[in-house]
Amino acid sequence: MSEDRLFSETPVARKRANVPLLVVGLPRSGSSFLSDVISQIDGWYVFDDLYLHHKAREIGATGVLSESQMDRLLFFLGWQIRARLRHGSYAIPNVGEDEIEAMNAALKTSLLGTGATWADLQEEWMYRLALRAGCENWGYKMPGAFRHLDALFEHYPEMRVIFLLRAPQDVLASYKYMRPDSEDGDAAQYHPVAHAIYWRMAARAYFDAKERFADRVMLVRFEDLVADPTAAAARIGAFIGTPPPETIRAPERPNSSYRKSGARRRLSGLEMFFVDRIAGGMRDRLGFARGRERLRPGDVLDLAKTTLVFAGFRARKALSAMRARLNRG
């Protein structure tokens, strides 16, 4: 792609010709690897974790963007590129850090005063990144977006959605035994009841979306993706209307969700009890294997410790949010 497309002062995205692809699901479910698989399909660029919708809601940018709102969102987007360049593993933007400010200035010139919303800004930003990567089609990963699908379909009526789901006991175990230096969050946020409920919400959202949006929604199970990435890519290619490559390369630096070697620590029998009671119905409906763990005397103490840590985490989050509100006020 020539540089003038990245720095164009007029919009380059082609409305409706570029239908976004959204990857949703839960953190700790291998969604980064799924994004990488899609980005190996010819003509597709998928950004790994993009929360512009969250940022727009946070600053009240739910309609036409004001200049100050656009500046804040462009600053946010600039840091998304910087973060991927410095720490990313998949679909790294083909943009130098020294190009970010010029790109943002061009985006502002092209969109300010045109009635653009956060979704228009995202589309223009993503399409320019896709073109720089030699692609015509774009998508992005936003775990947790299943809670906002109605709003996203309102902005992108032709959007297609891939749900990635993983067996609930494995998702919970991945949270529980998260490394202290993990970039995916804090292990203190883990609680078997809270996370089993959240997993059930995601599973229900898939069935609801499939019923309402039919052929614009598909499911990929993590276990199937890991067992045969090439076969999974074939299904995805049929879904998005693009032939996939003959083989899919595994990531050079696989995340903890993708690793197949090494024993993963399991949930306790008591934690599995909560998974069965809360998420078991949806787990069975989706065809995931059941986990089997015996109840042990130490399970109650383990749960008590987890509950105390979780309560402390939530209290700190609430206090931080309260301080932020006071500072803004």
How confident is the model over 93-106, as pLDDT tens digits?
A: 999 999 999 999 99
Asked whether residue 305 carries a pLDDT value surpassing 80, the answer given is: yes
pLDDT: is 258 or 327 the higher one? 327
Q: What was the pLDDT predicted at 184?
A: 63
Q: Does domain 3-328 have CATH number 3.30.70.100?
A: no
Per-residue confidence (pLDDT) for residue 173, from 0 to 100: 92
CB 299 within 8 Å of CB 270: yes
**What share of the chain in percent tops pLDDT 90?**
67
Domain ranges of the chain: 3-328
Amino acid symbol at 282:
M
The 10s digit of each residue's pLDDT in 160-172 is 999 999 999 999 9
Residue 35 tokens read as 């994004």
**Element (DSSP H or E) covering residue 103:** helix 100-111
Per-residue pLDDT, 263: 43
Torsion angle (degrees, nearest 10) of CA 240, 246, 252, 254: 50
Q: Is there a contact between 273 and 296 (Cβ–Cβ < 8 Å)?
A: no
Distance between CA atoms of residues 226 and 233, nearest Å: 11
CA 214 from chain centre, in angstroms, equals: 21
Average confidence (pLDDT) over 226-236 = 93
- Confidence (pLDDT) at 1: 41
Lowest mean pLDDT among 64-68, 153-157, 253-257: 253-257
| Cβ-Cβ contacts under 8 Å for 246 (sequence gap 6 or more) | 230
